[in-house]
Structures are given as structure tokens and as C-alpha cells.
Amino acid sequence: MRAVFYESFGGTEVLQVGEVSEPKIGPDTVLVRCRATSVNPVDWKIMKGFLDSRMDAVFPVVPGWDLAGVVEAVGPSVEEFETGDEVFGYARMDYVHHGTFATYSAVPVRTLSRKPKSLSFEEAGVIPLAGLTAYQGLVHHLKVRTDETVLISGGAGGVGVFAIQIALTLGAKVVATCSPSNFDFVRSLGAVPVPYGAGFEEALNEEIDEGVHAFFDLYGGDGLLSGRDHLFDKARVASVADPGIRELGGHYVFVRPSKEDLDELSTLAIQGLLQTKIEHSFELDQTPEAFELSMSGHARGKLAISIA
């Protein structure tokens, strides 16, 4: 089958497009003909070897954990899906080898949900990892409630776009950091934009008199420390970027596959409450270009990969 793959860790120069063996179908596995996937920072971090101490890599590695496509076959114990079903999912496993940047992907049934009929394959394919990260951070870790104020760092990024929308469905007021060039974009999502770095404190104080109830950190570093300074004493903090937040009484969010949470995201999408914001759509052989854009840190929303 045709796929993007690499045979050693490195930069985008290690990426190849060609033929690799088709994945085997295990007992609890669904073989999906992939129609779309998306680029997430974890994809190129794994490629560069940054997660080698945490996850085994079996070369050649096909990157990608997001997917949307059509069920081609099911394992002998699978009853949830059948051939022809349209699905989407967060196909993370305990090691990296057969990813989703390929014609076919064999994924555990626990990682899949039915694709929202109102969404295209590309629209559904950009949701799982980023959408689940936002949902689990806000709902399971921060437990955001109606009439609370939530501060989100990186509101224009892949996770931030979904986090803003999900927080609004929970009845919260949302303030999100972003660059001034993204102020209008963040406003269009329903959040109040404030700048990174210089001017952050002044802008936040103008918008919020009494601090915030919950802070969802997507970047770590100085931004995490600055955000914490503006919380109530009993406010909740969660970070996807800094495991050390646990030592400060907060929550570290490393997204987990969850059919139930995917179903919730699907419902929000069907209701029009969760919109995908795709900045660029690439073909499979343009994956190096898509990775470079993600690595630049300047992508707005999501980057989709269409698989013919």
C-alpha cells in the first residue's frame, strides 16, 4: 500500500512516500481505508526521536494517529462496525509502526467512532487528537462549569480552536492568548483575545476584574507561570505541555483514545457547536511541507492530509 514512512529518526528529510506492507488485522482490530488524516506536533516530535524514551518505534514508521475513512474489514471479535461504515478515530497504540498516513490503517476498535455524517472526511479527520485533548482537558480534568471564566493559551492553534468552542458549550466565558494577527480569528470563535508576552497582564486585567477560574495551558514555559498568577486561589490548572504542573497541584493532560468522548465530539459537530478550522489541506506526498508548517509554530487551526 502507499504510505508516508521513515526508516530512521530525523527531520523532514527522512520522510519518504512509497510502498509498505499492509497492516495485519488483529482480533480486536478494524482495517480502515484512510481518506484523511491530519498533522499534529506529536507526529514530527516522534519523527525527530523526542519520544524515543517513552515509546518504542518499529521501523519503517508510518506516522499519524488521526484518521477518517471507511471500514474495509474487521477482526473476528469486532461487533461494533462492519464493512462500509464511515468512521473516525484517534488511532494511538503503545508503539509506533503502522500509522494513519497510509492507504490502510489497522486500529483497535476502542479508538474509533462513527464519523459525523454532516462532516467531510477531511473535516472529521482533523478532530480526534486535538478535539479529544481539548475535551478531556476541559471536561475531565478542569471540570469547567457554567458561568466560569476559562483562560486558554494558544487559542488559534489546533487544540486551542477546539478548546474555545468546547468551553463555550459548557457555558464558560473564554479568554484566549494569541498573536495580534489572530485576534479577529479568535473573536470569531467566541473568545476574548489577549496577546502573548508583553501586554498580556494589562489586557487580561482589562477583560477580567476578578481573575479566572480555570486555566488550560497548551504551551508551558513562561506562559504557564504568567497564567497561574491570574487565577483564584482555588482555581484549577491543566497543561498539555508541562508534566511538572502536577507538583503545583495541577493536572497534566496526555490525551487518551476514547470512543465515548469521540461520540460527544461527534454530537457537538452535528449540532453545529464544534467547527473544524482547516488552514491548509495537503496531499499525501506533500507531507514534508505540512510537517514544516506545523514545526514553524505559525499554523492557524488544523492541517489536513487528504489520502486518495
Quote the pLDDT of residue 8. Answer: 98
* pLDDT digits 0-9 by tens, 203-229: 877 877 767 899 999 987 766 666 666
Quote the pLDDT of residue 220. Answer: 79
Quote the pLDDT of residue 228. Answer: 65
Quote the pLDDT of residue 224. Answer: 66
Helix (H) or strand (E) holding 19: strand 16-19
* Full-model pTM: 0.95
User: Residues 46-83, buried b or exposed e (16+ Cβ, 10 A)?
Assistant: bbbeeeeeeeebeebbbbbbbbbbebbbbbeebebbee
Give Cα 54 to chain centroid, integer Å: 19
Quote the pLDDT of residue 129. Answer: 98
* pLDDT digits 0-9 by tens, 52-102: 999 999 999 999 999 999 999 999 999 999 999 999 999 999 999 999 999
Q: Provide the pLDDT confidence category of residue 233 given band limits of 50, 70 and 90.
A: low
pLDDT tops 70 at residue 232: no
Q: What is the mean pLDDT of residues 25-47?
A: 97
Higher pLDDT, 213 or 201: 213
How many angstroms separate the CA atoms of 296 and 280, rounded? 14
Residue recorded with cell 517513552 = 54
Domains of the chain: 2-127+276-306 (3.90.180.10), 130-252 (3.40.50.720)
The whole-chain average pLDDT of the chain stands at: 94
Residues in the chain: 308
Q: What is the mean pLDDT of residues 145-162?
A: 95
pLDDT tops 70 at residue 294: yes
Instruction: Give the Å distances, CA to CA, from 243 to 23, 148, 228, 232, 256.
Output: 33, 25, 15, 21, 15
Centre a 10 Å sphere on the Cβ of residue 169 and count the other Cβ atoms it contains: 17
Higher pLDDT, 196 or 29: 29
pLDDT tops 60 at residue 240: yes
CB 89 within 8 A of CB 113: yes
Q: What is the mean pLDDT of residues 170-180?
A: 95
DSSP state of 81: -
How many angstroms separate the CA atoms of 170 and 175, rounded? 14
Whether omega for the bond prior to residue 60 falls within 30 degrees of 0, making it cis, is yes
